[in-house]
Amino acid sequence: MSVEFASTVTLVGFLLKLGAAPLHQWVADVYTGAHLFITALFATAVKLVLFVVFCRIAYQFSGGSLISFFAVSSLVVGTFLTIKQTEIKRFLAYSSIVHVGFLLIGDLSSGFVYVFTYILSSLLFFSVILTVQNSSSKEPVYLTDLRVLKRGGN
pLDDT for the residue numbered 139:
82
Position 154 in a domain: no
Position 33 in a domain: yes
Contact 4, 58 (CB under 8 A): no
**Domain total in the chain:** 1
Give, for 31, the enclosing helix (H) or strand (E): helix 25-33
Digit-coded pLDDT (tens) for 9-18: 888 888 898 8
Digit-coded pLDDT (tens) for 35-54: 888 999 988 998 889 888 88
Amino acid at site 86: T
pTM: 0.87
What average pLDDT score do residues 69-86 get?
94
Position 91 in a domain: yes
Structural domain boundaries, residue 127: 3-149
pLDDT for the residue numbered 66:
84
In this structure, of 13-17, 25-29, 64-68, the range with the lowest mean pLDDT score is 64-68
Contact 58, 67 (CB under 8 A): yes
Q: Tell me which DSSP letter residue 106 carries.
A: S
Position 49 in a domain: yes
